[in-house]
A and B are shown apart, each in its own frame.
Chain A
Amino acid sequence: MSAYNFAFLDEHTKRMIRRAILKAVAVPGYQVPFGSREMPLSYGWGTGGVQVTASVIGPDDVLKVIDQGADDTTNAVSIRKFFERTTGVPTTTRTDQATLIQSRHRIPETPLRAGQILVLQVPIPEPLRWLEPREAETRKMHALEEYGVMHVRLYEDITRHGRVAQTYEYPVLVNGRYMMRPSPIPKFDNPKLDMSPALLLFGAGREKRIYAVPPHTRVKSLDFEDHPFEVEHWDRPCALCGVRGVFLDEIIVDDKGGRMFACSDTDHCARRRPGGAPGPDGA
């Protein structure tokens, strides 16, 4: 891979992306258009996240890549491999030892700390997109802070189902100003966005947008006084490590309705099990 620059992108492109990231950090939750490049991996498979990671990664970083919370899902393996080849930086599965984490659909269970960067891959960055398909319109709505349609949509859920029926990409308000789609993480992970000590960067390659939640920023999941925001819960522990209060995957184990529930975060789970290395967070 010596024909390519460190982390694949040329330095001019990295600088352009870093400028977009700086703007995103300066205006939390605002979607910054950027000159997204064509990457050697498919659009929709993490091109935005890969560009953000490539722009901020340095030789001293330790990288972790997860998909659905797991380090060993095929696309996570593929992206980790891409950075191993193009940067040579060490990689890890341990959340607490990574300086840079690229993720799709999850925020790790192990609390992030100051100095870490979490890069989330985003398919559709616009929280208002299902309500208004036109970009020219939604940009105007953000500029005017015209978010009533989203509250109406959530209210319609309550009248119809008795609760808000949004389970992932649950809309949030960042720093009391911009409405943001927290990538398609389950709403279970939304509270981890609020006042996070780590920097959270969101990259949407196909849609050519970058946005950010800087450390210690208020992130509020939209709700109503009489219908406060709540997250998913499971009435059983992880079948592998016995932990409660984390996000569980449901695994179908036979064709007779047999099911097993186990941690989505494979690193967190492995380190709790006998033989797994205990992490410094005590988990």
Chain B
Amino acid sequence: MYVAAKGGERAIESAHRLLAETRRGDPAVPELSLAQIDQQLALAVDRVMVEGSLHDRELAALAIKQAQGDLIEAVFLLRAYRTTLPRLGASLPLDTMRMSVRRRISATFKDVPGGQILGPTFDYTHRLLDFDLADPGDPADPGRRAGEPAPEPGRSASPAGAAPRAPDPLPRVVDLLDREGLIEPEAPPPEEAPVGDLTREPLQFPAPRDVRLQNLARGDEGFVLALGYATQRGYGRNHPFAGEIRQGEVTVELVPEELGLAIEIATISVTECQMVNQFRGSAVAPPQFTRGYGLVFGNAERKAMAMALVDRALRCRELGEAPTSPTQDEEFVLYHSDSVEASGFVQHLKLPHYVDFQSELVLVRDLRAAAGALPGA
């Protein structure tokens, strides 16, 4: 009797054992290594690092393995680990002009200083299933064309690949517009201003732009993508052009208080998107292009672009545009972007709610009895 909603300790332990067994699958199939996930499911690792707000490929790969490939669950695992780490300090702003570029394109000019660099992209691939991949092939160099000499061992395994590099520093396309005054200037915040961190301080509205960008970068890719798409279809339209998308490695620098000078602590891979958006001008300002910005870990162009669209939509108030769409509503966007929060709250409906439901039953029966529909319960 009455066991449906009551589980108890044994049921939970059995469920965990069954989960572990399901995760492993058929033991006759070799187990995945973290290095395999890191190297061959690299974009999944990137996404988990972006939404998990933690740059650590090995931990992200572990989370993906533990979560059986459920990336939202993997993000949750990584976040729950991240929350236990001490916050040592804030790095200097990344200088993406000095990025070691793997890919760099601009849709606003036919050619730009430094050139258009296609890099490793799904763009222009025909989405035909490649049945050759079904069987493990020649491990030497899958990217090598017939007749090309084999690379030195170990070289193709490097995440940076063997692609030719653009010279650095590589000027940013929007800076060229900036020089002409065609695009709104972007003044860096004062150096002593603290860097916002919504994982330490609760969101307050209106949220400063650094916190908004942090929220969007951590936000669920599907949610941010859908909102970005909605802006293109007229919900908070902002006439975007992809001014520049660049992807590659940047150096992270930190100034330790006791040292007083910048030291390099890491080289990480990031994708940056600068959208150029139309602005018709106002009574006090002549027409000028405006900016939307996206920056994420790894190779995550779709996310960076969507983020830049939503960033621009959320800037409506500061640019004097009347907010008319949910995409321009800061609370709507920032409160609902987080997959870990959303997934937890949606799924908490699985928890027993029979006490509140009993209250509702009592009320509805009383109301129906009062209306003469049924004898009172």
Taking Cβ atoms with an 8 Å cutoff, the residues of A that contact B are 4, 10, 33-40, 42-45, 47, 67-70, 72-75, 77-78, 81, 104-106, 123, 133-136, 161-163, 165, 167-168, 184-188, 206, 208-209, 232, 234, 247-251, 253, 262, 264
Contact = CB atoms under 8 A, between A and B. Distances in A.
Nearest to B343: A42
A31 B370 CA distance: 38
Contact of A186 (B199, B344, B356, B367): B356
Given A45-B344, A68-B355, A248-B358, A167 B331 contact: no
B7 A73 contact: yes
Contact of A232 (B1, B2, B345, B359): B359
B359 A188 contact: yes
20 contacts: A4-B84, A10-B84, A35-B202, A37-B83, A38-B79, A39-B80, A40-B80, A42-B343, A72-B7, A77-B9, A77-B12, A123-B348, A162-B370, A165-B363, A168-B360, A186-B356, A209-B202, A232-B363, A249-B355, A250-B358
Interface string B111-142: 00000000000000000000000000000000
B351 interface: yes
Given A38-B83, A72-B8, A162-B370, A45 B202 contact: no
B126 to A, nearest CB: 41
Contacts of A43: 340-341, 343-345, 348
A136 B341 contact: no
Given A43-B344, A44-B344, A165-B363, A38 B352 contact: no
Interface in B310-365: 331, 335, 340-341, 343-348, 351-356, 358-363
Interface of B: 1-2, 5-9, 11-12, 76, 79-80, 82-84, 86, 199-206, 331, 335, 340-341, 343-348, 351-356, 358-363, 366-367, 370
A255 to B, nearest CB: 13
A105 B345 CA distance: 16
A215 to B, nearest CB: 25
A45 B343 CA distance: 11
B344 A33 contact: no
